[in-house]
Each structure stands twice: as C-alpha cells, then as structure tokens.
Amino acid sequence: MGKAGPKSKQASPAAVSQSCEEKGWFREHGETGSGKTTQIPQYLYEAGIGRQGIIAVTQPRRVAAISLATRVSDEKRTELGKLVGYTVRFDDLTSDETRIKFLTDGMLLREAIGDPILRKYSVVILDEAHERTIHTDVLFGVVKAAQKKRKELGKLPLKVIVMSATMDVDQFSQYFNGAPVLYLEGRQHPIQVFYTKQPQSDYLQAALVSVFQIHQEAPSSQDILVFLTGQEEIEAMTKTCRDIAKHLPDGCPQMTVMPLYASLPYSQQLRVFQAAPKGCRKVILSTNIAETSITISGIKYVVDTGMVKAKKYNPEIGLEVLAVQRVSKAQAWQRTGRAGREDSGICYRLYTEDEFEKFDKMTVPEIQRCNLASVLLQLLALRIPNILTFDFMSKPSPDAIQAAIEQLDLLGAVEQKEDQLVLTPLGRKMAAFPLEPKFSKTILLSPKFHCTEEILTIVSLLSVDSVLYNPPARRDEVQSVRKKFISSEGDHLTLLNVYRAFKNVSGNKEWCKENFVNGRNMMLVSDVRAQLRDICVKLSMPMESSRSDTANIRRCLAHSLFMNAAELQPDGTYSTVNSHQLVAIHPSSVLFHCKPSCVVYNGLLHTNKCYMRDLCVVDAEWLYDAAPDYFRRKLRAAKN
DNA sequence: GAGCACTGC
C-alpha cells in the first residue's frame, strides 16, 4: 500500500475496520422477498374483487411496473396485456380484459385528472409507499377523496391498500381513519452491521481504506458496493482505486472497479451486472441509484458513507439547493439491505453508532422538498374544492404552497372566483401537458410567435435527461466537437441545433458516438415530442415553424420565463430581476464564458454557488412587454 | 471563474 500512488498520507488500511464494532445481526423490516406485490393482487382477483372493477397496483418506477406485470401474467399463465397488464408513459399494454393493472404512480395520478373518483377501479394498491414519492403522496389524498365521494354517490366502495417496507405504518393507518395493519414476514438474509468507533472526518478516505481492507481479507468472489454522493466524487474515487489496485502486493486478488450513476451511459451501467472474472473482485462505486433503482446480485459487502446528495427547496426565493447531507436511518437500512439479497452479508457504516442514532428517522417526503407548482396545477385540475385545506398526509409548508400559487398566478393559470382558487381556461390547458407549468405555458404561447414546432422540440429536450454526454476524461475532445452546434443565443437554441443535426442523420448511432450525443435520451426526446404534439393537435393549436428565425423563439421564451430573468451588473456579476439575488452562469451552459447583458433561465440551482441553468439571451424590452404589470410592481418595490 | 442525487407524467 505504501507505494500505492498519490495518496502517500494514507492511513493504514486496517484503521477503519479495526475500529469497527460489530453490532449484532440484523433482520430487515420484513419486506424483500415476501412476494406481497405479486401475490396480493392475485389473491384479490381470485376472491372475485376483480370482477367489479380493475385492481390497480402503483409503482414509483416504470421498469418495476413492467417487470411485475410480466411476472404476474406468467404466474397466471396468460398473455401479458390480457388479464394482467401495465400502463406507463409511452407504453400501454392493457385491454378490455385487463383486471390486474400495474402502473406508475404518476400515471394513475394523470388518469385521475380525467376521472377523479377512479370509477374503473375496485382496488388501488399503493406499493412502495415508504418511498413517499410526490406522486404517491398526492395519490393518498386523491384515493381518500375518491373513497368519500363514491360513498356519497352510493357507488361501489373503493378499497385502498398501502404497502410499505418499513415499520412506520402508524401514520398510514392514522391517515386512513385507523385502517387495519398486517405484517408480512420477509426472507432477507442476516446482515452483520459494523460502525466505526470514531467519527470519520473524511468519508472518502474512510471508504477507500475500507474497500482495500475488505479486499485483502475476503475471498475474491465477494463483491463490494460503496455508496457515495455524486458523479465527480465517484469518478475520482474510481481512478484512485484503480491506481492503487495496479500496485497491490503479490497474492492479493485482482480488482475491477466500476462507477455507477444515473447519467452514466446505459452500456456502461450494464457492466455492473457482469460477473467479474474468476479471482477478481468487483467493486461498485455508486450513488443512491443502487439503493432502489438498480439491484445488483452477489453483493456481500456494503460500505455506507452515510452521505447523500439531495435536493431541498427554498420557497422564499424559489431556489433549489442540492447539498451533500446525512442519510436518514431508513435510507441507511435500505443501503444495508443491499448486502443480503442472496446470502448473508456484511455492512460497514463509516460513522459511529451515536452518529447513527442522531440521523433522522425517515427521509423527508419529496412533497416537502419540491417546488409545488406542478402538484397544485394537477390538484386544481382534479377540481379539489380547496387546495389550501387539501388533506396531505405530510403537509407542505404554507410558504411552499403560497410560492406555488404565486408562480401559477404569474403564468396566468389561476384566478380567484368566489373566494376559491380555480384554474383559468389557460390553466386547464396547461394541466393537459405532462410538463412543469412554465414549459406548458411556453408551448401554449408559441403560436403567437409562430414557432410551435421549435418550441415543442426545445421543451422536449429540456424535459428529459441531458442529451449531451460529457465524459470528464475527454473534455477537450467534447468541446471541439460540440463547437458546431453552439449558438451564441444560448442553450435552448444550441439544443435545437443538436436535435436538428440528429434528425438530419436519422439518429445514426455512429454519429451520436462521434458527437457525444446520448442516443437513448435523444430517442426519448422524440417520444416526448410526439406526445406533446398530439396534445397540441387535440387543443387545436396551429402548428407553425419559425424556420431560421431564432428571434421569435427567444421572444417566446422571454414571454414565458420573464420571472426567471437576470441582468449583467457593472461589476460583471448577474442579478435576478425578481429578487436581486446574486447568480452566476452554470459551467454547463454554452454562455459560461460570455457576458450577455440580459438572459432568461429555466431555473436556479444552489451548489457551491447560485447557478442559472439553461439560458437564453433576450432583449430587456421583450421582458417588459411580456409582463408590464409585473415589472412595474418590481420597479415600485425597488424604489421603496 | 469551473459543475449536476434520484424518479415520473
């Protein structure tokens, strides 16, 4: 280890695990492998409940909905899409015969807009409720309201089953008026949990030491999963591990190190599923994507740094903050559980037991960490009588609700009618799009600027993961090849150029590779665009192209994003027009090295600094034209 | 001057 490269100050590899204390055996909260998700819908169906209406089972993720539907239809020995089917965005495999339907929570929520009492369904099963996704949280309220309404109308009762993998069932039961609780025994293998004796000041160093400690002691067939916080950290650690692994003493097994995070191209993500060659250990360095979304078999050791990068939302200045913070206890147990999927496992927690006791019990539900504009628009579209008193299981802060109402008001989506907040006709149209309200508004404004075709493309590009692939190791190459797409007018128009070039070569895979374009995400853009275009056609919008005229596209963006404007100051910094917040251009923007005098941006993100993301150069006068009242108010406020 | 956890409609 002494000759192991740059880290000469490295602590002895034994430092961490020798100071780890064993803390007994642990049995996960009776969940994995109990088969509840596949069996309960079938029991209900056998009991005849499926005859009166469809049994819905929601999932937070698309892949889960699809694979569960596949498994259950196999078990029923029926063709997928007949008795058992699934509905996810862009993919509906159901028919008139379907009685057991798996769907994403977001999809059921969207269905509810057209049918708030969910009349098609006899049972709604909300699975993975412990994850508390924003969609599942809204669905709690929606199904509860539907139950009440159906009772009032004398219709078939709606049965609701909430399935959670953690023990915090009390609040679920309480929320549903003291509903009965059933416990299911899981089949989790035992996992030994170790804590450090001392708090670790440098969790990266501690992780590195633990990995090589395990590597020197454990049989090479046993793989290690390390939880870290983000791409940059993981890439750096990957390199360090590989460097050290090159210089291990004789007799030490080989090691293959793999990074894993969501923005990694699919082909590289797949590598974590391949078994390492004999005599070689697999070490996976992952974000929390491996907590729930990706399950890797054969993991014997989990190393948990106890840290996670998570988003918070500050409603007062409309600022998203992305920060490294402590995981919750529930999240730590979830990570630990990843070590015991096939056999008994071992988890090293790189924090003390005292520190662990101070972690939050549960992760704060997403609904309390987000901008609520989309959720409120959806609730209003559901004709919820009063969104201010909506029965949330975990209420968002009044500030967050107020900020969302203000945002919807600025977009012209809501109005007061007889003391009630209701949607305007524009707001109702906005709710038809599966988009953030500001993007729906951009589309609905576009006919005025004769650029709907271009705006559809831009909005689609912005609503999927980045189509631009930026491998850090090939930065110079990326920059030189990307030059040809760059528009001096900003990121929106640059993305439009990339899309047009992609279409010109009909999505050629080689072209994507050469140009560092993520082909898979680009295909998704096409799907999104087609869906959005369909909605426009249904709303009878004229579909026009501005062709080479980019000024109209920028005018359209100025009119929909006027509340997200910033101006260059004499000292070279930027200040937002809305709240005079000091902001900077995000390094990922094509305008990073430029100093346009006036821009609009999609959003603010606070990491090390407060950054504007996805910028478009605009004229200051356009902004004033877009919302004269708003800017008059701002001017008055500034004078006072 | 220098960066972006994870889902989903």
Q: What is the DSSP string of A282-345?
A: EEEEE-THHHHT---TTEEEEEE-SEEEEEEEETTTTEEEEEEEEPPHHHHHHHHHTT-SSS-E
Using C1' positions and the CA of A479, the closest nucleotide is B2
pLDDT at A249: 86
Shortest CA–C1' contact from A88: which nucleotide? B9
Q: Does position A235 have pLDDT exceeding 60, yes or no?
A: yes
Q: E strands of A427-579, at which residues?
A: 565-568, 574-576
Task: Quote the pLDDT of residue A422.
Answer: 94
* pLDDT value of position A10: 30
CA of A559 to C1' of B5 (A): 31
- Nucleotide nearest A89, CA–C1', reads B9
The string of pLDDT tens digits covering residues A400-441 is 999 999 999 999 999 999 889 999 999 999 999 999 999 999
Listed in sequence order, the residues at least 6 apart from A103 whose beta carbon sits closer than 8 Å to its beta carbon are A56, A57, A58, A59, A65, A86, A87, A88, A111
Whole-number distance in Å between A534 CA and B9 C1' = 15
Domain made up of A36-175: CATH architecture? 3-Layer(aba) Sandwich (3.40)
How far is residue A239 CA from its own chain's centroid?
A: 27
**Closest residue, by C-alpha, to the C1' of B8:** A106
- Just give the CATH number of A14-27+188-362: 3.40.50.300
pLDDT in tens, A249-263: 888 899 999 999 998
At A617-635, the pLDDT tens digits run 999 999 999 999 998 888 8
Helix axes A437-445, A550-560, angle to 10 degrees: 140
Mean pLDDT throughout A595-614?
92
Which nucleotide's C1' atom has the smallest distance to the CA of A64?
A: B7
Residue nearest the C1' of B2 (CA based): A587
Angstrom distance, A80 CA to B7 C1': 25
Q: Does residue A28 register a pLDDT over 50?
A: no
Confidence of residue A4 (pLDDT cuts 50, 70, 90): very low
For residue A232, give the nucleotide whose C1' atom is nearest its CA.
B3
Which residues have a Cβ under 8 Å from the Cβ of A498 and sit 6 or more positions away?
Answer: A461, A467, A468, A485, A515, A517
pLDDT for residue A34 = 67
Confidence of residue A470 (pLDDT cuts 50, 70, 90): confident
* Mean per-residue pLDDT, A332-345: 90
Which pLDDT value is given to residue A167? 67
What lies within 8 Å, CB to CB, of A212 at 6+ separation is A1, A13, A244
Gap from A8 CA to B5 C1', Å: 31
- Our measurement of CA A367 to C1' B8, in angstroms, reads 13
Q: Give the CA A14 to C1' B8 distance in Å.
A: 43
- Give strand pairing partners of A162: A126
Which nucleotides along chain B are within 7 A of a protein C-beta?
Answer: 1-9
d(CA A583, CA A240): 34
**pLDDT for the residue A13:** 31
Q: What mean pLDDT is reported for chain A?
A: 89
- CA to C1' distance (Å), from A129 to B7: 14
Protein CA at A491 to nucleotide C1' at B1, angstroms: 19
Q: Percent of chain A scored above 70 by pLDDT?
A: 95
Average of per-residue pLDDT across A165-178: 86
Closest CA to the C1' of B6: that residue is: A289
Statement: residue A11 has pLDDT above 70: no
CA distances from A349 to A209, A229, A305, A332, A334 (A): 13, 15, 6, 9, 12
CA–C1' distance A609–B2 (Å)? 11
> Smallest CA–C1' separation from A104: which nucleotide?
B8
Q: Using pLDDT thresholds of 50, 70 and 90, give the confidence band for residue A382.
A: very high
Q: Evaluate if residue A347 carries a pLDDT over 90.
A: yes
